[in-house]
Each structure stands twice: as C-alpha cells, then as structure tokens.
Structure 1
Amino acid sequence: MRKKIKDFIIIIFISFLLLVILEVILGFFFENRKFQHQSNKIDRVLASNSYSEKDIPFIKQFYNDYHKLTYEWDPFTEYKLKSYKGSAININPQGNRKTINEDTIITDSRYTIYCFGGSTMFGEGARDIMTIPSLLSKKLKEKEPTKKFHITNYGVPAYSRSQETALLIEALKKGKKPDIVVFYDGFNEVLLKHPNYLKNVREPIKQSYDAIKKSNKQFILALKSSNINTGIKKLQNKLKHVEKEKYDVIINDSILDEIIKGYRNNIKITDAISNQYRFNIFNYLQPSVYTKKLRTEYENLQYNKHEGLDKVFHKLYQQLTTDSILQNSNNFIDISNCFDTSKENIFIDNCHISEYGNSIISEIIANDIIESIIGN
C-alpha cells in the first residue's frame, strides 16, 4: 500500500514538473511569436515610407509599448485600457491616452472636448503629441489663441460606435460635462462583423481581461492566464474550419443593413443626449485606403490585401452618404474623401494613418469646431 502511495506521489510530482517545463517552453515560444509579429508590424509601417529614418527608433518603441498595453473588464463597454507609462504611449488611470493640451490651466471658461473612436483616434502609429486629439488642441489654440480648450482622448483600440456611445453615457452619469463631442468611426463597424477580425484583433484583447472577469480566485486566474491554456485555445482554433477572408461574401447586404441601422441609431441616441445636456456633437465618417482615389504603390498593396473588403466599403459608404436620415442630420459629416488629392502615403495599413494624416484630420475637425463656436 505504501509503495502504491509512493508511486502515486512520484507520478504526480513528475506530471507537475513536466507541466512546469511545458509552461516555460510555451512561454518562450509565445514571446518569440509576439516579437516576430511586432517586428513584422514595424517592417510594414516603415515600408509605407510615411516616416523618415530618424523616426525609426520611435516606431520601434511605439509598437513595443503598444504590445504591452493591457485591458480590464468593463460592464458597460466590455473592456477598457489599463494605466500604462511608456516612452511612446502613456495611458492615465482612467484609461485615456495622454493628450498634449496647449492650455494646462483649468478654468470654467474653457471648452471641454471629448474625442471618441477606435485605434485611429487612439493614435496607432503616432506619438502622444501627434495623435488627432493632441494636434486638435494645437490647431485650436493657433486659430483661437484667446480661447481655452481641454481635450480628452477617449479612443480605444477596436472600439465600435456602440461602445463609444456607452462610454459617453458613463462619463455623463459620473457628472462630466463636455461642450463638444467628436466621434470618428466607420471602419470597425464593418470589421467587427467578420470572424477573422474578431479572432485576430478582438480575441487577444478579450484574453487579457476574460479570466479576471470570470473569476476573482487566484488559482483559476492563474490557470486561465497560463501559456498551456493559451496553447490549447490556439490549437482548438487551428483545428476549426476558418472562413477565407471573402468580406463581400460574409458581410452580405443583410449585414450591411444591420451596420447602417446600428450606426444611424447610435447617432440618433447621441443627438438626443446632446440636446438634453446641451453640447455640440460631430459624427465623422472616417476615411480608409478604400476611399482614397490617388493611392500610392504601398497603399494599393493594402487596398488589395483583403479580398472583397473594398466592395464592402464602397457599398456601405455609398449607402451611408445617401441615407436620408443621416443627410438631414447637421451632425453627420462625411470626410471619407479628405485624402483624395494627396499623392503621398497617408495610410500605414488599410485604416490607420500616419502622423501627417492625423494633422489633416485634426485641421478639418478644428475648423468645424471653430465655426460652431463662432456660430453660437
């Protein structure tokens, strides 16, 4: 009997030791894969020629920071960014990326501006000082030096318009009061309907908060966060049948109608809220590589990268820009063609834009805000 117990203990010990070794090996493997993915992303961004040679260290640092970002569960928006301090990216405890505000003194007479969007508004590929919100602050001060502005960047990677609406409502419930609210959307609304996007973009975000959401027990949390568990999930995904990226087949007319209805209803909701809380609102339909007419060779590569996605965006944007309800809204602004005359590389992939692109977008928004302020 004692021998059996001893043998059992030895088996348990060896099994545990093997699991530890496997956990360590998988840890090295996943870190190497993560590093390789990061290196490929950096190479792709540099290939766009949107940055000079002196910016190469920044790009490397940006994506080093970007891949270290973590998320936490949020009951209203599903997830939000956790605080982070890096060389290229800084996130405050509220989950907002740092905005370089020209006016640092807080006064009652300042204009409070909230900027909502996905990773483009967040500022993928841009340093803190060159995001759309930071550049907007600079341009507003240049145009109206006697007025004071304070801007908050509420952009979060992979956010949709519905999440942004929920985030605005939560801010208002906490007693925050903006004077101007900016929404910058159109791209994620489409991609969130495709399984490959959910697997490659949303799933990694979900994994970073899922264990915490489901359990506060440290042992369960450790198991769910382990490399072995990650490896099992990846193997399961490999064994599953994965649809080819034929966007125009998967995202059919019925799904497009659903996207348009959801986008339109979100605008209706936030319009009603803005009337109640008395702030101005701007809903920008964002540009993408699929809406740019004069594309560079690099941008054409991005244009043709995902089969059928160009057809989806052409059809969606054509319907959105001719929608009678949206056309009658003073708050819906189509800027999808704002890069049409540019012969330079604007896009670093099919939706994210360079710092130069951010400058163009912030100029458009600044002009609209100034016009609304003068009009009032």
Structure 2
Amino acid sequence: MKKLTELPKKLPEIVKITLINLVFLAIFIELGAAALYWSKYKQLFYTRSDRSTNEAIAQLGLPLNQTATDETILERLHPFFGYVLKPNQPVNLEFSTRVFPANNWGFPSDYDYPFIRQNPNQVIIGVFGGSVASNFAMYESENQVLTKTLKEKIPELANKEIIILPFALGGYKQPQQLLILNYILSLGQEFDFVINIDGFNEVALSHLNYQENIALSMPSVQHLLPLRDVASNNLGVDELSAIAKIVENREELIQRQESLQESKLASTYLFRVVSTQAAARKYQENLMAFEKIRGQKQQNPEQDFILKIENPQEVVDVDTAFKKMAELWGNSSRLMKQSLENQNSLYFHFIQPNQYYPTGRSFSEDERKLAIIENHPYQGGVQKGYPALLQTIEQLKTENIPIFNATKIFDNVNEIVYIDSCCHYNQTGNQVFTTYIADSIVGVLNQNPELKNRWK
C-alpha cells in the first residue's frame, strides 16, 4: 500500500527520465541518419544543395522518366520525327536545378526552331541523338563545359557567343537523327557544327523492334506502339486499367520525391527514402504488369491502324539483323556528314558508353545494384550490337568521318557514374562524358587549322 501511495510522487521523475531518454534516442537516431547520409553522399545533410538533393534522389533509381508508357501521355506523334514532347512540358536532369521547357518543336531548348542566327558572332551547335544526347545538351547548357573548353583552347572562338540547340529525345535512333537534320536544314537552319551522340538506342531498341517484327529503321517500338494504340483507340480494358495504376503510382512517387526535398532532418529523410523505395518498387511492378499484358496481346495483322508502321521486308536471323542495324547506323552517319558539308558545317559523332557493354570498368557494389539488372531487355542488344558498331566505326574513320569511341571513358573513374539500369549518367558521368566530347572536338580542330577559318 505504501508503494502505491509513493507512486504519484515519483511519477514526475519517471516522466522526466522517460522524456530525457526519448530526447537522447532522437538525437542518436538523427546522428546515425546524418552519418549514413555522409557515408553515401560524402556531404553534410544539413548543408546539402538543391542539386545534391536531386542527385541523391536520382541515385534511388526512381523510374520517373524512363518508361514509354508514361511518355505516351507526355509525347505527341510527329509526321516526320516519329514523336516529340508536348510543347511547354518542363524537362530537367534528375540532379539539376535547371528546368527546360519543351519548345515549339517539342525539344527541351531555350530557343524556338528554326533558330535564326542573330549576328555573325554567334556559333551554333546542334546536338542530335537519344536521351543521353538530350542530357548532354541540357548539362552543357547549364555547366558550359564544352563552351569554356572551346573558348579557352580555340583562339578563334574566345569571344564568340556559343548557342546550343538540342534536337535529341529519349528513344531516338537512326535514321531519326538524319531525318530531323535534313528537315531542319531544309527550313534554313544554320549550324557551325553538329554533335551526334548515339549507339545504344540503335542496338538496344532496334533489337526490340526485331523481336516485335517491326522494321529496324522504324522508331523505337517502346515509344511508337503505345502511341499508335492510343491514336487508334486500340487499348483494351486491361491495358487502360494498368495505365491508370501506373499514373497513380507516378503521382505518388512525385509527392514522395517532393517530400524528400523538403526534409529538414536526416532521420526524417531516411524514413522517407525507405517509403519512396517501396513506392518505386510498386511502380516497377505495375510497369512490368503492363508490359506483360501488352506482350500477351494478339495483334491482328489486318487491323486498320491510323498510324502505318513498316514490317521487315525479309525474315533474317538475329546476327544478320545486328549487321543490318550497324549498316543503317553507319549510312545515317555518312549522310549526316554529307548534308552538313553541303552547308559548310562540321560534323562530330560519338558512340556513348553503356554499362552492359563490358570494358575495363569495375563497378562498386552500390553502382552495380543501381545500374545493372541481369537479363535486362537491353542487355542482349548491347552485347551483340556494340561489337558490330565498333567494327563499323573503323570503316567510317577511313572515310574521314570524325567519329569517336567513348565506350571506355569511365574505366578509370572510381565514383558512381550511372543513375539507372538503362544508360543514363549522373553529374559525375556527364562531366566526364562532356569533357571527353569537348577535348575530342578541340583535338580535331587543332589538327586541322583550316577548319577554324570560318570563325576568323
């Protein structure tokens, strides 16, 4: 009885001790979360920048901009290019604070097209290719790695205003670059030189075309078939239901991404990372479910689609198909150079690095989890297709086409450079890649002084 009467007297002290322990526990959790953040991103959580936060989000591998299904909502069919972005749609790199609006043609650019040279001091550079090329153009526009290198190492360009015009979008592959170039040239667009960055889409996505019995020269089936089905009202109930789930998941992911950016405490951030990863897994599961439904769908060859897509003219084995891919790629590069020469413009071609093409690069465990999925749909196309492209490069070099094999540029980079299991690079990767491109172009110009006369 005495103990019971003493309890109320001790209660404030018990509450006090409990509260003190909870405070210390919260401090320890916060310090532990901050330490985990430091070990992963090598920076203090509380002084992180917007860019570092965005890059940390990118390293979660959130598939917010990587799916054709999602892009069917954001893209528009184009009669010459295959597809473009919805005008005024905001576009940004995952780790960048800069947002680019899609211009009047549906490309992420500060300028509407055609861009007319406003004065003789402007140097106009066009960028063509797929998503890696598009990311390069946006990274360059924000960081000016190429611009600074050209001005520092080419005296004729020291005082010039360099204009970057992107004509690249996710999923583009030859001959889309060739067709876009000739179309814009026919409208009077001027270029001092053009940078074409490709290779991955030509083999990875063309391989998917081959598997779907769609002509290799057609745009990516990942992008084109969903657009065709929407345009032709050919989506079944199961597909519409799956798309609805994907859109719902995407909205949830966007909200969770925003909550990560708003986190003030490292412990809160860590909790939100875990919940965001769970939402991302759910999103991926629904994407795979949609692809399974689409794969099981029986296409009627006689169905009257509103969009005409060519089938192969002949049935070939897979090895022959890869040879044809490489031939198409090489012919498109030749024709791009010829078209630009007719306009007194220069041409530079780069084949991009990709994690599924084995080189001397050693992947850390963290990067491997982020960048490599065994039996990925792109893996077979890259491993079979890149050797065919590299063989074609040697022939193109004998024809004086400035083409560069960038597949090994990450071999001596210890940091993580990939941000997803497809092909894209983080800030470090884009910096290395852009520097390589800049140095390669400068090397060609310095080895051929006559090419620089146009800027005197």
- Please report the TM-score for the alignment, with normalisation by the length of structure 2: 0.56
1:316-345 superposed Cα distances (whole Å, 9 cap, x missing partner): 333433345223133221111111111111
From the superposition, tell whether residues 82 and 204 of structure 1 become closer, same or farther in structure 2 (CA, over 3 Å). Answer: same
Counterpart for residue 284 of structure 1 = 350
Residue 258 of structure 1, CA deviation: 1.3
Residue 84 of structure 1, CA deviation: 2.7
From the superposition, tell whether residues 56 and 310 of structure 1 become closer, same or farther in structure 2 (CA, over 3 Å). Answer: same
Counterpart for residue 30 of structure 1 = none
Residue 178 of structure 1, CA deviation: 0.7
Counterpart for residue 108 of structure 2 = 97
Contact 2:133 2:197 in 1 (8 A): yes
Q: Distance in 2 between matches of 1:286 and 1:60?
A: 24
Q: 2:321 aligns with which of 255, 259, 280?
A: 255
Counterpart for residue 83 of structure 1 = 87
Q: Can you give the 5+ residue segments of structure 1 that lack an aligned partner in the other structure?
A: 1-45, 215-222, 242-249
Q: Distance in 1 between matches of 2:332 and 2:42?
A: 36
Q: Distance in 1 between matches of 2:236 and 2:387?
A: 46
Q: Distance in 2 between matches of 1:169 and 1:357?
A: 31
Residue 192 of structure 1, CA deviation: 1.6
1:294 and 2:352 aligned: no
Counterpart for residue 75 of structure 2 = 71
SS in 2 for 1:337: coil
Q: 1:275 aligns with which of 309, 320, 341?
A: 341
Counterpart for residue 416 of structure 2 = 345
Query: What CA RMSD, in Å, does the superposition of the two structures yield over aligned residues?
Result: 4.0
With 286-295 and 276-285 compared, the bigger mean Cα shift is at 286-295
Counterpart for residue 385 of structure 2 = 316
SS in 1 for 2:165: strand
Contact 1:141 1:148 in 2 (8 A): no
SS in 2 for 1:154: strand
Counterpart for residue 436 of structure 2 = 364
SS in 2 for 1:161: coil
With 341-350 and 85-94 compared, the bigger mean Cα shift is at 85-94
Larger radius of gyration: 2
- Identical-pair percentage: 21
From the superposition, tell whether residues 239 and 85 of structure 1 become closer, same or farther in structure 2 (CA, over 3 Å). Answer: closer
Q: Can you give the 5+ residue segments of structure 2 that lack an aligned partner in the other structure?
A: 1-36, 93-98, 112-116, 213-219, 244-289, 299-315, 452-456
With 147-156 and 157-166 compared, the bigger mean Cα shift is at 147-156
From the superposition, tell whether residues 337 and 57 of structure 1 become closer, same or farther in structure 2 (CA, over 3 Å). Answer: closer
1:180 and 2:249 aligned: no
1:156 and 2:226 aligned: no
Q: Distance in 2 between matches of 1:134 and 1:227?
A: 48
1:214-247 superposed Cα distances (whole Å, 9 cap, x missing partner): 5xxxxxxxx6689776238958526459xxxxxx
One-letter amino acid of the counterpart of residue 368, structure 2: N
One-letter amino acid of the counterpart of residue 356, structure 1: T
Q: Distance in 2 between matches of 1:139 and 1:227?
A: 54
The count of corresponding residues between Structure 1 and Structure 2 is: 305
One-letter amino acid of the counterpart of residue 117, structure 1: G
Counterpart for residue 140 of structure 1 = 150
1:168 and 2:170 aligned: no
From the superposition, tell whether residues 99 and 50 of structure 1 become closer, same or farther in structure 2 (CA, over 3 Å). Answer: farther
Q: Distance in 1 between matches of 2:317 and 2:378?
A: 9
SS in 2 for 1:193: helix
Residue 153 of structure 1, CA deviation: 1.3
- Please report the TM-score for the alignment, with normalisation by the length of structure 1: 0.67
Q: Distance in 2 between matches of 1:224 and 1:59?
A: 39
Residue 254 of structure 1, CA deviation: 1.6
SS in 2 for 1:176: coil
1:169-211 superposed Cα distances (whole Å, 9 cap, x missing partner): 1110111011101111111111223449999x85466545764
